[in-house]
């Protein structure tokens, strides 16, 4: 299964083409729109979320709510395009207006100008923008529906915002329930502290990042490979997570904590009872030797603060080469809750890829039959 996305932040629309989906997968557009709306929520979001009200449109690959086995094409329209058409139109645009030359530290602006032989960073930032993730959430929700048919669920929560961290452990159901919080934090008191900190950061015209923790329930053992390094499940998931804008680190299971412990406090001991092998701990995060082992898969991702600060940072104007303050674009103070939804979506898609890679199947009946024959 393959995903290709296209579109610019202020272009007409964002699109996604999914190739390799089995036929007869039920697609509910309301579920896609639910996750698109969830991506736009969260304390600390910026003004653009008031302009856009994302909805998905299915252009091909589905009839009567069922996939056909052909490429599925999704579109998410940019409602803000009407305000940008004269600057962004592919048929002729005023490229002298809305130029960006005061390149922003931490963004793709300066490196992209050199790589793509441009003089206006708008030609870089329009694609580098996290706005692109809207259509990845739409595609990821299609993958989520596929996983659901097999009894696999993905849920995440915000573990920390800047220095305010939640070190408690939660059940899968508690993690799912965290979506009722404004910051997707299960602990209400910590959520309020984090909101106050975001208010302080906004007042200072600064930005904040955080840590998101993801859990996967119901994934059977044996997905991924220990025989080819390129097929390792943890590598595949880490790639998917790191492909999301602003993610700077990924941990699986104990992650970096494993380096600070002796082996006796890291590796999950194995037991056997009533005809089944089991583990009492899950420090490996559900993946051993590059393969799922049947336990919950646990990942954490570190999101850096958004690089567009309303007060700007020291930089250099690309045209004049003079020192200046970086340009400001409409942006968020903290989008860590939105990032949780995005990360869940890319993990859903990555897991669906691995499942179909192993099981094959041109239609959902074949996929389910092969899945049901696998051991836990």
Binding residues for FMN: 127-129, 245-246, 289, 304-308, 330
- Reading the chain (376 residues) residue by residue, the pLDDT tens digits are 999 999 999 999 999 999 999 999 999 999 999 999 999 999 988 755 556 689 999 999 999 999 999 999 999 999 999 999 999 999 999 999 999 999 999 999 999 999 999 999 999 999 999 999 999 999 999 999 999 999 999 999 999 999 899 999 999 999 999 999 999 999 999 999 999 999 999 999 999 999 999 999 999 999 999 999 999 999 999 999 999 999 999 999 999 999 999 999 999 999 999 999 999 999 999 999 999 999 999 999 999 999 888 888 999 999 999 999 998 876 789 999 999 999 999 999 999 999 999 999 999 999 999 999 998 7
DSSP β-ladder status, 276-279 and 297-303: unpaired
**CA pair distance 15, 18, nearest whole angstrom:** 10
Binding residues for NADP(+): 39, 45
pLDDT digits (tens, 9 = 90+) for 222-235: 999 999 999 999 99
Distance of CA 65 to the CA centre of its chain: 25
Which residue from 223, 184, 264, 164 is spatially nearest to 351, judged by alpha carbons?
223
* CA dist 55 → 28, 116, 369 (Å): 12, 32, 33
Mean pLDDT score of the chain, rounded to an integer? 95
- Cβ atoms of 366 and 233 within 8 Å: the answer is no
Q: Which two tokens stand for residue 301?
A: 């991702």
**CA pair distance 279, 298, nearest whole angstrom:** 15
Task: Quote the crossing angle between the two packed helices 336-359 and 133-149, to the nearest 10°.
Answer: 50
Binding residues: 39, 45, 127-129, 245-246, 289, 304-308, 330
**CA pair distance 199, 213, nearest whole angstrom:** 23
Backbone angles phi, psi at 120, to 5 degrees: -125, 115
Reduced to 3 states, what is the DSSP secondary structure of residue 164?
A: strand
- Cβ atoms of 242 and 342 within 8 Å: the answer is no
pLDDT digits (tens, 9 = 90+) for 51-72: 668 999 999 999 999 999 999 9
Which pLDDT value is given to residue 50?
A: 57
């Amino acid at each position: 299964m393959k995903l290709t996305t296209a579109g610019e932040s202020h272009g007409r629309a964002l699109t996604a083409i999914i190739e390799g989906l089995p036929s007869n997968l039920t697609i509910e557009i309301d579920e896609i729109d639910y996750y698109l709306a969830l991506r736009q929520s969260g304390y600390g979001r910026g003004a653009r979320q008031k302009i856009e009200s994302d909805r998905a449109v299915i252009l091909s690959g589905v009839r009567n709510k069922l996939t056909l086995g052909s490429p599925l094409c999704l579109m998410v329209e940019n409602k803000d395009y009407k305000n940008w058409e004269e600057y962004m139109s592919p048929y002729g645009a005023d490229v002298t207006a809305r130029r960006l030359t005061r390149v922003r530290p931490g963004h793709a602006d300066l490196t992209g100008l050199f790589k793509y032989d441009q003089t206006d960073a708008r030609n870089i930032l329009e694609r580098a923008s996290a706005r692109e993730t809207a259509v990845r959430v739409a595609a990821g929700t299609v993958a989520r529906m596929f996983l659901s048919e097999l009894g696999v669920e993905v849920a995440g929560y915000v573990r920390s915002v800047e220095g305010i961290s939640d070190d408690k452990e939660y059940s899968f159901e508690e993690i799912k329930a965290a979506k009722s919080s404004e910051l997707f934090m299960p602990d209400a008191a910590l959520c309020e502290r984090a909101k106050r900190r975001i208010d302080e950061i906004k007042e200072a015209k600064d930005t904040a990042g955080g840590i998101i923790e993801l859990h996967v329930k119901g994934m059977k053992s044996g997905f991924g490979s220990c025989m080819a390094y390129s097929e390792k499940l943890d590598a595949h998931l880490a790639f998917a997570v790191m492909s999301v804008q602003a993610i700077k680190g990924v941990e699986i299971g104990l992650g970096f904590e494993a380096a600070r412990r002796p082996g006796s406090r890291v590796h999950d001991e194995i037991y056997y009872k009533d005809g089944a092998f089991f583990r009492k701990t899950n420090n490996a995060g559900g993946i051993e030797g590059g393969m799922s082992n049947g336990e919950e898969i646990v990942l954490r991702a570190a999101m850096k603060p958004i690089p567009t600060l309303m007060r700007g940072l020291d930089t250099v104007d690309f045209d004049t080469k003079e020192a200046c303050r970086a340009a400001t674009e409409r942006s968020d103070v903290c989008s860590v809750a939105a990032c949780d939804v995005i990360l869940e979506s890319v993990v859903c898609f990555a897991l669906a890829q691995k499942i179909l890679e192993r099981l094959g199947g041109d239609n959902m009946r074949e996929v389910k039959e092969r899945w049901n024959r696998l051991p836990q």
